[in-house]
């Protein structure tokens, strides 16, 4: 077996090397820690790592289990990075900060169920991935996988928080159907949108992670023999609807339009659609309801629901901590103001999202109606309608677009598929896949 290149090696190849005995989990952990030490000072992808006097004996123990023929599953002894809004076992010696110094030293009572499930499956929690404060983008976990600091990671997605950094990091990722993965023990932005999701180098690793990550109360929603059993290697019989890439892009406030990038993305995404036809899939161009349907009286439904949900959901998490110097959103904001040199990056010295959430006022009745309208649009008027009207199984479109609003509004799954690199600046780009629930 050739030597592993940790920059590009997927977990599925690492598992083969572990099985063959050409590498041990203990050695693997040390090699990844060496890479983090070498590159993280520039990348800032990892906030903390499990101390070596904790993680190396854990890896050694899993090696011993393997030697005795006790294999917990396909991810036995493989390291992972968890986004630092996911509570880990205090015995691992890492805080859960959600990207703010206000939560340094806070104590969780126990690990998030998601973290427990991963450890029970033999996964080694190597460290915690960086993120926008507080909550926000899963950029750290995506960069960690892209840079070979870990073969896989777990992020969280509210409204594009996995999709956008994943497509720009050239990695595979998924946001499952809302509720499929337990959100308990995860610092929230808004529970009407939030879900943890796997990030990896290949689809096989995404499936293997999903087999472990799904909350046990939803086991009946999993494929009978697991997600990995669905990796047939064939698209025969799959009916795919594709969105015209010329009609899909990010707003200029998010990404300044560059004509040469837009043309290349249009051409290469269209070419990818053509290749899918050659594999045996049925491919047809489709349209989906305009996002204008998420605007009511000039107000965005997603913004209403998110801004009104952030404060109560966030404060419920804070109040559930065993110990913390902050218990309210207002206290977190005051800490940030008092420690601006630590909290605010020079390019974005503000906390606009927090200020909006702190001051947002809406009645419970109006909020429930906004949620109802948002879900109705995302499901009945957009995704499900497009699938049913066109008799298709899945919808594909450019990841660099506002496609995230559809799956966020619906609470439906999303998958990010890497495709190519922009000639203009070598930035990766890819395709987003949408489907109905589960």
DSSP for 21-35, written as a single string: TSS-HHHHHHHHHHH
Grouping H, G, I as helix, E, B as strand and the rest as coil, residue 254 is coil
151-201 tens-digit pLDDT: 999 999 999 999 999 999 999 999 999 999 999 999 999 999 999 999 999
The domains of the chain are located at: 11-230
Structure tokens at 191: 């529970």
Per-residue pLDDT at 216? 85
Is 24 one of the annotated active-site residues of the chain?
Answer: no
Please say if the pLDDT value at position 347 is more than 90: no
Give the CA distances from residue 300 to residues 191, 249, 362, 405, in Å, rounded to whole numbers and listed in that order. Answer: 18, 19, 13, 11
316-333 tens-digit pLDDT: 999 999 999 999 999 999
Task: Check: CB of residue 153 under 8 Å from CB of residue 404.
Answer: no
Spatial CB neighbours of 366, under 8 Å, sequence gap ≥ 6: 304
Is 83 one of the annotated active-site residues of the chain?
Answer: yes
Cis-peptide, bond into residue 171, ω within 30° of zero: no
40-51 tens-digit pLDDT: 999 999 999 999
CA distance 336 to 138: 21
CA distance 131 to 134: 8
Report which of 386, 212, 366, 198 is spatially closest to residue 296, judged by C-alpha positions. Answer: 366
Q: H or E element: which one contains 295?
A: strand 295-296
DSSP for 60-126, written as a single string: HHHHHHHHTT---STTTT-EEEEETTB---GGG-----TT-GGGTT-B-SS--HHHHHHHHTT-EEE
Q: In DSSP terms, which residues pair with 239 in a beta bridge? A: 282
Q: What sign for the dihedral angle of Cα 164, 169, 170, 176?
A: negative
Phi-psi region of 226 (alpha: psi -120 to 50; beta: other; left: phi over 0): left
349-407 tens-digit pLDDT: 889 889 999 999 999 999 999 999 999 999 999 999 999 999 999 999 999 999 999 99
Active-site annotation holder among 25, 98, 133, 137: 137
Is 161 one of the annotated active-site residues of the chain?
Answer: yes
Neighbours of 370 (CB within 10 A): 21
Q: In DSSP terms, which residues pair with 102 in a beta bridge? A: none
Domain over 11-230 is classified CATH 3.90.1300.10: yes
Active-site annotation holder among 83, 128, 175, 311: 83
Please say if the pLDDT value at position 288 is more than 70: yes
Please say if the pLDDT value at position 133 is more than 70: no
CA distance 72 to 59: 13
Give the CA distances from residue 109 to residues 51, 88, 255, 318, 340, in Å, rounded to whole numbers and listed in that order. Answer: 20, 10, 41, 12, 29
Per-residue pLDDT at 136? 53
Active-site annotation holder among 161, 228, 324, 401: 161
Please say if the pLDDT value at position 202 is more than 80: yes
CA distance 324 to 38: 32
Per-residue pLDDT at 2? 66
């Amino acid at each position: 077996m050739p030597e592993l290149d940790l920059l590009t090696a997927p977990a599925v190849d690492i598992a083969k090397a572990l099985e063959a005995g050409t590498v041990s989990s203990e050695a693997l952990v040390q090699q990844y820690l060496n890479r983090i030490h070498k590159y993280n000072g520039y990348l800032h992808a990892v906030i903390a790592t499990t101390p070596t006097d904790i993680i190396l004996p854990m890896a050694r123990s899993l090696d011993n289990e393997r030697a005795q023929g006790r294999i917990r599953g396909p991810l036995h002894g493989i390291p992972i990075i968890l986004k630092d809004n996911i509570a880990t076992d205090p015995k691992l010696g890492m805080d859960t900060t959600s990207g703010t110094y206000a939560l340094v030293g806070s104590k969780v009572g126990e690990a998030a169920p998601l973290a427990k499930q991963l450890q029970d499956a033999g996964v080694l929690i190597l460290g915690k991935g960086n993120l926008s404060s507080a909550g926000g983008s899963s950029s750290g976990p995506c960069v960690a996988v892209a840079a070979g600091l870990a073969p896989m990671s777990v992020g969280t997605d509210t409204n594009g928080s996995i999709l956008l950094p994943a497509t720009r990091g050239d990695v595979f990722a998924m946001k499952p159907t809302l509720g499929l993965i337990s959100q308990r023990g995860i610092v929230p932005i808004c529970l009407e949108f939030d879900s943890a999701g796997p990030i990896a180098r290949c689809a096989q690793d995404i499936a293997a992670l999903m087999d472990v990550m799904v909350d046990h109360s939803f086991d009946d929603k999993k494929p009978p023999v697991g997600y990995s059993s669905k990796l047939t290697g064939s698209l025969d019989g799959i009916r795919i609807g594709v969105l015209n890439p010329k009609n899909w892009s990010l707003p200029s406030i998010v990404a300044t339009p560059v004509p040469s990038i837009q043309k290349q993305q249009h051409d290469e995404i269209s070419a990818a659609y053509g290749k899918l036809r050659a594999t045996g899939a049925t491919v047809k161009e489709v349209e989906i309801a305009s996002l204008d349907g998420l605007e009511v009286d000039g107000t965005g439904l997603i913004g209403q629901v998110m801004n009104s949900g952030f404060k109560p959901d966030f404060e419920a998490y804070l109040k559930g901590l065993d110990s913390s110097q902050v218990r309210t959103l207002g206290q977190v904001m005051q800490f940030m103001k008092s420690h601006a040199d630590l909290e605010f990056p020079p390019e974005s010295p503000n906390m606009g999202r927090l200020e909006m959430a702190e001051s947002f006022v809406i009645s419970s009745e109006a909020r429930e109606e906004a949620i109802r309208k948002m879900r109705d649009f995302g499901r009945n008027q957009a995704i499900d309608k497009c699938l049913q009207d066109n008799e298709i199984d899945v919808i594909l479109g450019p990841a660099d677009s506002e496609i995230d609003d559809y799956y966020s509004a619906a609470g439906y799954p999303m998958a990010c598929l890497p495709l190519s690199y922009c000639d203009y600046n070598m930035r990766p780009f890819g395709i987003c896949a949408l489907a109905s629930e589960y």
